[in-house]
Amino acid sequence: MPPVVPSTDSAHPHPESEPLNVDPDAPLSPSNGDDMGYDEQFVKPEGRPGDVPALWAACASAAVFVVATWTIVLTNNPTSLGLFFFHPILQSLSIAMFTYG
């Protein structure tokens, strides 16, 4: 077990207090980490098969939902709803934006 207080004897210093880097001119860390652990052959592509049809299906269903909601609200005397008129309009728009995002 190493002593609690490091040795002050310069002739026989404790091995735990010795620096790991014995070359004083060597840098402490690599200059840039761009080339460390980067292999181009292991980088996976962003898209997967089926992503494009899924995007089109999600956008089409959101568009049908928005058009149907707005048509129902706007054709059924929207002024009778008061301020509630804005709720289905804005809610369907926000659902469509979340779907697209």
Q: Strand, coil or helix: what is 54?
A: helix
Instruction: Specify the 3-state DSSP secondary structure of 70.
Output: helix
Span 77-96, pLDDT tens digits: 888 888 899 999 999 999 99
The per-residue b/e assignment along 15-51, b for 16 or more CB within 10 angstroms, e otherwise, is: eeeeeeeeeeeeeeeeeeeeeeeeeeeeeeeeeeeee
Q: Distance (Å, rounded) from C-alpha 58 to C-alpha 52? A: 10
pLDDT in tens, 5-58: 555 666 666 767 766 666 767 666 655 555 556 666 677 777 788 889 999 999
Residue 55 sits at the vertex; the CA angle it makes with 53 and 56, to the nearest 5 degrees, is 65
The DSSP output letter for 20 is: S
